[in-house]
C-alpha cells in the first residue's frame, strides 16, 4: 500500500518498533464482521464471537449480502468490529432508566442500531445526521432494526442547543480523516491529505462545542473517530477540557482484546491498531460533564395534532403487542410511540426536523388501514393480526426485487410475507394476483442474470445464519 509520506513519518513516531508490523497489517485482508439483532435472532450462531461485543461475530468469508433476506429484515448489521467497542462504554458506565440519548453523527446507523439494543427499553434514542440523504439511510436501517423508542432527525449540531441539558448520554462518532479505513478502502488512502486532516480537527471541535450544551450536568460523552491522528483524537479531548468542566471516565480493558490505552492530559483514551486487533483503526474516549446544564425540566407542551381518535387507537392497539406505547396521529399516519417519552417527542418536534419517530403503523384510508412497511419489520407487530405466507429463498429474493410473486395462499387482503419466521413486508392478495407493498426505494437492484446465477444460490446455502 502506497501510504502518504507525512502519514508514515507520524505513525513511525507513534509506534516506533511496531511500525513495520502495523504497515504489513494494512495489506492484509480485513475480517468481515456482523452484529446480530437480539430481538430478531434467537440462539447462538455457529461463528466466532467478538470478545468485547456480546452480539458481534466474525464471518469466515465475505458473502454476497444483497441476496440474504435477513440483512433486509434487520436480523443483523454488517459493522466494523472495532466500532463495536461502544458496547463496553455503555455497559460499564451507563446506569439508570428512562434515559435520553443522542447519537449526533449517526449515519449509516451502526452505532445507533447497537445502542438501541443495549439501552434500557424505557430509554429514548435520538439519531441524527446533518446530511439529508445520509439521514434517510440512517432511518431505513433503524426501521429494519424494529425498535419503537427511536427518533431520527436531520439537523446541524448547533440546532441541539435548543434543548439544553436534554440528554443523559451523547455519542459523537465524529467525521474524520479516515486513516483507520486504509485497510478496508484504498480510496481512503487516495483521498487523504494533511490539509484535510486539519480541516477535520476544526470540524470536530465545532461539533463538540455546538453539542456540549445539550448534555446535562453529570451526563456522559462518548467521543470516537476512525482515524489514528492525535490531533483529531487525544488533542480534541484536551481541547474540550480547556473550556468545559469534565472529569475522566475509565474503562476496564481485557488484555486479549488488543486495545491500546493512551492518555490525553489525564483523560484515558483507547486506540485500536490493525496489527493488534482484527478490525480497523478506531479511537474512543469517555468523559463526564461536571458543570453546566442540570437535568432539563420537561416543558408542558400540548399538540392536539398528535391526538388519535378512539377508533384509530383501537385499530393501532390491535396490531401491536406493546401496550405501553401510545397510538398517535403523526403527519397523516398512525404512529406507535413510547408513552413515557411523549413530552420529549413534542419538544423535539417543536425544535428539530424529524425524519421518522417510533414505529409507523400505517395510513387510514377511510375505515381501512394501509399498513406501513416498518410495522412488518418492527419488534412490536402482533403477528396474529395478519395471515402469514412463508416464502422460499427464491420467492423472498423475488419479493425483495419487487417483482411479482404467486405464493400458495387463499387469504384475501393484507398478508405478511415471511422468510424463515422473519417478516419481510406486506402483499395484498386480490384473488387473481398479489400486489407488493415493498418500498420501491428499498428494492434489490439485481439483473436477471445475477439472480439466476447458481453461484449466488450456493452463497445463500452457505451463509452461517
Question: What tens digit of pLDDT does each residue of 97-112 get?
Answer: 999 999 999 999 999 9
pLDDT at 458: 62
Grid cell 434515559 is found at 99
Question: What tens digit of pLDDT does each residue of 211-250 get?
Answer: 999 999 999 999 999 999 999 999 999 999 999 999 999 9
Q: Which of 110-119, 164-173, 322-331 comes out lowest in average pLDDT?
A: 322-331
Let me know if residue 427 belongs to a domain. Answer: no
Is residue 121 scored above 60 in pLDDT?
A: yes
Is residue 407 scored above 70 in pLDDT?
A: yes
Answer yes or no: do 144 and 189 share one domain. Answer: yes
pLDDT at 30: 85
Answer yes or no: do 317 and 197 share one domain. Answer: no
Is residue 209 scored above 80 in pLDDT?
A: yes
Let me know if residue 310 belongs to a domain. Answer: yes
Let me know if residue 41 belongs to a domain. Answer: no
pLDDT at 214: 97
pLDDT, mean of residues 329-355: 94
Characterize the bridge pairing of strands 260-263 and 333-338: unpaired
Is residue 460 scored above 70 in pLDDT?
A: no
Let me know if residue 209 belongs to a domain. Answer: yes
pLDDT, mean of residues 164-176: 97
Answer yes or no: do 181 and 225 share one domain. Answer: yes
Let me know if residue 447 belongs to a domain. Answer: no
The percentage of the chain sitting over the pLDDT mark of 70, rounded to a whole number, equals: 93
Let me know if residue 389 belongs to a domain. Answer: no
Is residue 161 scored above 60 in pLDDT?
A: yes
Structural domain boundaries, residue 206: 5-30+79-289
pLDDT at 186: 77
Distance CA 157, CA 173 (A): 12
How many structural domains compose the chain? Answer: 2
Answer yes or no: do 377 and 242 share one domain. Answer: no
Strongest mean pLDDT among 26-30, 222-226, 295-299: 222-226
Answer yes or no: do 150 and 259 share one domain. Answer: yes
Answer yes or no: do 273 and 309 share one domain. Answer: no
Is residue 204 scored above 80 in pLDDT?
A: yes
pLDDT at 1: 73
Answer yes or no: do 145 and 256 share one domain. Answer: yes
CB 423 within 8 A of CB 381: yes
Mean pLDDT taken over the chain: 92
Report how far apart, in Å, the C-alpha atoms of 70 and of each of 235, 393, 423 are: 41, 11, 9
Answer yes or no: do 254 and 322 share one domain. Answer: no
Answer yes or no: do 104 and 220 share one domain. Answer: yes
Characterize the bridge pairing of strands 56-59 and 282-289: unpaired
pLDDT range class, residue 409, cuts 50, 70, 90: confident
Let me know if residue 254 belongs to a domain. Answer: yes
Is 64 exposed, middle or buried (CB count within 10 Å of its CB: 0-12, 13-18, 19+)?
middle
Answer yes or no: do 181 and 316 share one domain. Answer: no
Let me know if residue 248 belongs to a domain. Answer: yes
Is residue 69 scored above 90 in pLDDT?
A: yes
Answer yes or no: do 259 and 315 share one domain. Answer: no
pLDDT at 303: 65
pLDDT range class, residue 300, cuts 50, 70, 90: low
CATH number of residue 134's parent domain: 3.40.50.150
Is residue 42 scored above 90 in pLDDT?
A: no
**DSSP characters for 202-264?**
HHHHHHHHHHGGGEEEEEEEEEEES---GGGTHHHHHHHHHHS-EEE------GGG--EEEES
Answer yes or no: do 328 and 237 share one domain. Answer: no
pLDDT, mean of residues 102-127: 97
Question: What tens digit of pLDDT does each residue of 82-96 get?
Answer: 999 999 999 999 998
Amino acid at each position: 500500500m502506497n501510504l502518504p509520506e507525512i502519514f508514515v513519518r507520524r505513525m513511525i513516531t507513534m509506534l516506533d518498533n511496531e511500525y513495520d508490523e502495523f504497515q504489513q497489517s494494512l495489506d492484509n485482508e480485513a475480517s468481515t464482521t456482523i452484529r446480530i439483532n437480539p430481538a430478531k435472532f434467537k440462539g447462538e450462531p455457529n461463528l466466532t464471537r467478538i470478545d468485547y461485543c456480546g452480539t458481534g461475530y466474525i464471518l469466515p468469508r465475505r458473502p454476497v449480502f444483497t441476496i440474504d433476506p435477513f440483512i433486509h429484515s434487520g436480523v443483523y448489521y454488517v459493522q466494523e468490529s472495532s466500532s463495536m467497542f461502544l458496547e463496553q462504554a455503555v455497559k460499564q458506565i451507563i446506569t439508570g432508566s428512562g434515559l435520553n440519548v443522542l447519537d449526533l453523527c449517526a449515519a449509516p446507523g451502526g452505532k445507533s442500531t447497537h445502542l438501541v439494543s443495549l439501552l434500557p427499553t424505557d430509554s429514548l434514542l435520538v439519531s441524527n445526521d446533518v446530511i439529508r440523504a445520509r439521514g434517510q439511510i440512517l432511518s431505513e436501517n433503524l426501521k429494519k432494526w424494529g425498535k419503537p423508542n427511536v427518533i431520527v432527525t436531520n439537523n446541524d449540531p448547533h440546532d441541539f442547543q435548543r434543548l439544553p441539558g436534554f440528554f443523559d448520554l451523547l455519542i459523537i462518532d465524529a467525521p474524520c480523516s479516515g486513516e483507520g479505513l486504509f485497510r478496508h478502502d484504498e480510496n481512503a488512502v487516495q483521498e487523504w491529505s494533511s490539509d484535510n486532516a486539519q480541516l477535520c480537527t476544526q470540524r470536530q471541535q465545532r461539533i463538540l462545542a455546538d453539542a456540549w450544551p445539550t448534555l446535562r450536568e453529570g451526563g456522559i460523552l462518548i467521543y470516537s473517530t476512525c482515524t489514528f491522528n492525535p490531533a483529531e483524537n487525544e488533542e480534541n479531548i484536551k481541547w474540550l477540557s480547556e473550556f468545559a468542566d469534565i472529569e475522566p471516565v475509565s474503562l476496564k480493558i481485557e488484555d486479549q482484546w488488543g486495545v491500546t490505552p493512551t492518555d490525553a492530559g489525564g483523560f484515558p483514551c483507547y486506540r485500536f491498531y490493525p496489527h493488534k486487533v482484527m478490525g480497523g483503526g478506531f479511537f474512543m474516549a469517555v468523559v463526564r460533564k461536571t458543570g453546566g446544564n442540570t437535568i432539563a425540566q420537561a416543558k408542558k407542551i400540548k399538540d392536539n395534532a398528535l391526538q388519535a381518535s378512539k377508533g384509530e387507537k383501537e385499530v393501532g392497539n390491535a396490531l401491536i403487542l406493546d401496550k405501553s406505547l401510545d397510538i398517535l396521529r403523526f403527519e397523516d399516519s398512525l404512529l406507535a410511540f413510547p408513552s413515557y417519552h411523549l413530552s420529549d417527542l413534542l419538544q423535539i418536534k417543536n425544535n428539530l426536523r424529524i425524519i421518522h419517530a417510533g414505529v409507523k403503523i400505517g395510513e387510514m384510508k377511510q375505515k381501512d388501514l394501509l399498513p406501513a412497511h416498518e410495522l412488518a419489520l418492527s419488534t412490536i407487530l402482533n403477528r396474529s393480526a395478519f395471515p402469514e405466507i412463508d416464502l422460499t429463498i427464491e420467492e423472498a429474493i423475488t419479493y425483495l426485487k419487487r417483482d411479482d410473486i404467486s405464493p400458495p395462499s387463499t387469504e384475501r387482503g393484507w398478508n405478511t410475507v415471511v422468510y424463515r419466521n422473519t417478516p419481510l413486508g406486506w402483499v395484498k392478495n386480490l384473488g387473481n394476483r398479489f400486489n407488493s407493498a415493498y418500498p420501491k426505494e428499498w428494492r434489490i437492484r439485481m439483473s436477471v442474470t445475477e439472480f439466476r446465477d447458481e453461484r449466488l444460490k450456493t452463497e445463500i446455502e452457505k451463509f452461517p445464519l
